[in-house]
Amino acid sequence: MKRTLTKLGLLILSVTFFLASCSKAPDKILYKKSGKWSAILTFHITSVGYDETNTSSATMLFDKNGSGTFTDGAGVVVTFTWSYSKDSEKLTYQEAGDDPIVFDVTEMEKKSEKWHNVSTEIIGLDTWVYDLTVDLTSID
| pLDDT (tens digit per residue) in 8-57 | 333 343 333 333 334 444 444 555 567 899 999 999 999 999 999 999 99
pLDDT value, residue 3: 45
Nearest CA among 100, 99, 71, 58 for reference residue 83: 100
* Span 128-138, pLDDT tens digits: 999 999 999 99
Please classify residue 50 by burial: count the beta carbons closer than 10 Å to its beta carbon, then call 0-12 exposed, 13-18 middle and 19+ buried.
exposed
Q: Which domains does the chain have, with CATH numbers?
A: 26-138 (2.40.128)
Question: CB–CB of 51/43 below 8 Å?
Answer: no
pLDDT value, residue 8: 38
Question: Tell me, what DSSP letter sits at residue 86?
Answer: T
pLDDT value, residue 12: 41
At 79, the pLDDT band (50, 70, 90 cuts) reads very high
Pairing mode, if any, of strands 90-95 and 101-108?
antiparallel
Distance CA 107, CA 55 (A): 19
Nearest CA among 77, 70, 82 for reference residue 30: 82
Count other C-beta atoms under 10 Å from residue 74's C-beta.
7
pLDDT value, residue 35: 85
Question: CB–CB of 105/92 below 8 Å?
Answer: no
pLDDT value, residue 110: 84
Sign of CA dihedral 21, 114, 103, 64: positive
Mean pLDDT of 60-70: 92
Question: CB–CB of 13/20 below 8 Å?
Answer: no
pLDDT value, residue 105: 94
With 60 as the cut, is the pLDDT of residue 98 above it?
yes
pLDDT value, residue 33: 60
Mean pLDDT of 60-73: 92
